Amino acid sequence: MSEPTEATEAAEATEAAVRAEKLDAGDELADLRARFVLDDVVYLDGNSLGALPVSVPGHLDDVVRRQWGSLRIRSWDESGWWTAPERIGDRIAPLVGAAAGQIVVGDSTSVNVFKALVGAVRLARLTDSGRDEIVVDATTFPTDGYMAESAARMTGCTLRPVTPARVRGALGGRTAAVLLNHVDYRTGRLHDLPSLTSAVHAAGAVAVWDLCHSAGALPVGLDEHGVDLAVGCTYKYLNGGPGSPAYLYVRRELQDRFDSPLPGWNSHAEPFGMRPDYEPAAGAPRGRVGTPDILSMLALEAALDVWDGVTIEAVRAKSLNLTDFFLECVGQYVAEGRVESLTPAAHEERGSQVALRCEDAGEVMRRLIERGVVGDFRRPDVLRFGFTPLYVGFGDVERAARVLGEVLAG
> Are 143 and 172 contained in the same domain?
yes
> Are 287 and 365 contained in the same domain?
no
> Are 189 and 120 contained in the same domain?
yes
CA angle 51, 54, 60 (to 5 degrees): 100
**Among 307, 340, 372, which residue terminates a domain?**
307
Q: 288-324, pLDDT tens digit by residue?
A: 999 999 999 999 999 999 999 999 999 999 999 999 9
Task: State the chain's mean pLDDT as an integer.
Answer: 96
Amino acid at 186: R
**Phi, then psi, of 347 in degrees rounded to 5:** -60, -40
How does residue 4 score in pLDDT terms, banded at 50, 70 and 90?
low
- Asked if the structure places residue 268 within a domain, the reply is yes
Q: 73-124, pLDDT tens digit by residue?
A: 999 999 999 999 999 999 999 999 999 999 999 999 999 999 999 999 999 9
- Asked if the structure places residue 367 within a domain, the reply is yes
As a whole number, mean pLDDT of residues 163-182 equals 98
> Are 290 and 330 contained in the same domain?
no
DSSP 70: I
DSSP 118: H
As a whole number, mean pLDDT of residues 265-280 equals 97
As annotated, the active-site residues are 141, 210, 235-236, 384
CATH code assigned at 186: 3.40.640.10
- Asked if the structure places residue 50 within a domain, the reply is no
pLDDT of 265 over the 60 cut? yes
* pLDDT score for 2: 42
> Are 347 and 216 contained in the same domain?
no
- Asked if the structure places residue 259 within a domain, the reply is yes
* pLDDT score for 205: 98
- Asked if the structure places residue 49 within a domain, the reply is no
> Are 288 and 330 contained in the same domain?
no
* pLDDT score for 348: 98
* pLDDT score for 335: 95
Q: 208-231, pLDDT tens digit by residue?
A: 999 999 999 999 999 999 999 999
Q: 241-259, pLDDT tens digit by residue?
A: 999 999 999 999 999 999 9
Residue 357 burial (CB < 10 Å; 0-12/13-18/19+)? middle
pLDDT of 11 over the 80 cut? no
How does residue 1 score in pLDDT terms, banded at 50, 70 and 90?
very low
Domain count, the chain: 2
- Asked if the structure places residue 16 within a domain, the reply is yes
> Are 362 and 405 contained in the same domain?
yes
Q: Please state, in angstroms and as integers, the Cα–Cα distance from residue 305 to each residue in 28, 45, 70, 96, following that order.
A: 18, 21, 25, 16
- Asked if the structure places residue 1 within a domain, the reply is no
> Are 360 and 219 contained in the same domain?
no
Q: 63-81, pLDDT tens digit by residue?
A: 999 999 999 999 999 999 9
- Report d(CA 156, CA 131) in Å as an integer: 10
> Are 347 and 294 contained in the same domain?
no
Closest by alpha carbon to 247, among 82, 102, 386? 102
CATH code assigned at 400: 3.90.1150.10
Q: Are strands 175-181 and 133-137 parallel, antiparallel or unpaired?
A: parallel
* pLDDT score for 3: 54
Q: 339-394, pLDDT tens digit by residue?
A: 999 999 999 999 999 999 999 999 999 999 999 999 999 999 999 999 999 999 99
Q: Domain containing 373: what range? A: 6-37+310-409
- Report d(CA 59, CA 39) in Å as an integer: 21
pLDDT of 168 over the 60 cut? yes
**Among 307, 323, 339, which residue terminates a domain?**
307
3-state secondary structure of 277: coil
**Among 258, 283, 307, which residue terminates a domain?**
307
Residues contacting 224, CB < 8 A, separation 6+ = 97
> Are 323 and 215 contained in the same domain?
no
As a whole number, mean pLDDT of residues 5-9 equals 65
- Asked if the structure places residue 172 within a domain, the reply is yes
> Are 135 and 178 contained in the same domain?
yes
Amino acid at 136: V
> Are 14 and 83 contained in the same domain?
no
- Report d(CA 131, CA 178) in Å as an integer: 12
